[in-house]
Amino acid sequence: MRNRVRLARVEKDYTQKQLAEKIGITRQTVSLIEKGEYNPSLKLCLNICYALNRKLDDLFWIDEGEKRDEKGS
Amino acid sequence: MKKVHDERIEWQRLKNFRLAFIIQSAGIIGILLYHLMMDGVMEFTKNPLWMLLLIVAIVLNYQNLKIADELEDKVTNPGPYYRVLIYAAIFGVLTGALAYFFPGDERANAFLVGAIVFICFLIPFTVAYYLLKKRYEKTE
């Protein structure tokens, strides 16, 4: 599922490896989350938010219309 | 160094275990079927692999009971536990009595048959009782 983790990470000037180490997961998982190829649990989403000083909504919220477009494409 | 608890890897590991379990079970069933065809039913049930297969099936089904969704919307109080003991004892005594009066069977075996039936009823009844009780306490 699409998210704004990559954008927030770049703004914070973290590499994928740094973010992964901060959260305690692997770099591959961060990469897959950013690409929308892995859906993290709510617990992991929160840990990402804490590490990037962002709200859950900022990183993971998708409007219903946006989601429908994503499904259609 | 910080310990990595990656949920994606744990999930993948579980999937790998599932695949290994499927292959292992298929192998065990294959070996048992081979024994069944070559040696007959009596030898087949003597094979420890048969016991292993039964134990795995029982454990798996008990574990699945915990995650099964309630069939009824209304959750009723299962009542006191001694009722479970009484039901299991009734089944045990009835089966023991049947074995005692059954012609051709050794009467000493009747007690053993009754005891086995008692235990076989007591264990699933107890598990079901605690599951119902837990559900009832949650909904209260």
Residues of B in contact with A32 (CB under 8 A): 8
A50, pLDDT greater than 80: yes
- Going from the C-alpha of A63 to that of each of B1, B14, B68, B91, the distances in angstroms are 39, 33, 33, 60
Q: What is the pLDDT of residue A52?
A: 96
Highest mean pLDDT (candidates A43-47, A61-65, B49-53, B60-64): A43-47
**Interface predicted TM-score (ipTM) of this complex, two decimals:** 0.78
Tokens of B132: 């119902």
B1, pLDDT greater than 60: no
A29, pLDDT greater than 80: yes
**Cα–Cα distance for residue pair B49/B19, rounded to 1 Å:** 19
A33, pLDDT greater than 90: yes
Residues of B in contact with A21 (CB under 8 A): 2
> What is the percentage of chain B residues whose pLDDT exceeds 70?
89
Any idea which of A20-24, B21-25, B47-51, B69-73 has the lowest mean pLDDT?
B69-73
**What are the φ and ψ backbone dihedral angles of A58, each rounded to 5 degrees?**
-60, -35
The closest CB to that of B8, out of A21, A29, A43, belongs to: A29
Q: Which of B8, B11, B14 is best to mutate for the A interface (most A CBs within 10 A)?
A: B8
Q: Which of B112, B111, B113, B117 is nearest to B90 (CA)?
A: B117
Q: Outline where chain B has alpha helix (H).
A: 7-39, 41-46, 48-67, 82-101, 108-139
Pairs of CB atoms within 8 A across A/B: 27
B34, pLDDT greater than 60: yes
**Cα–Cα distance for residue pair B19/B82, rounded to 1 Å:** 42
Average pLDDT over residues A20-32: 94
**Cα–Cα distance for residue pair A9/B94, rounded to 1 Å:** 71
B58, pLDDT greater than 80: yes
| B115 contacts B132 by C-beta, under 8 angstroms | no
Tell me how many degrees the CA angle B102-B119-B121 measures, rounded to the nearest 5.
85
Cβ of B9 within 8 Å of Cβ of A40? The answer is: no
Q: What is the pLDDT of residue A7?
A: 95
The 10s digit of each residue's pLDDT in B63-115 is 887 776 666 667 777 788 888 889 889 988 988 888 887 776 667 778 888 88
Average pLDDT, chain A: 90
Cβ of B9 within 8 Å of Cβ of A29? The answer is: yes
Cβ of A21 within 8 Å of Cβ of B2? The answer is: yes
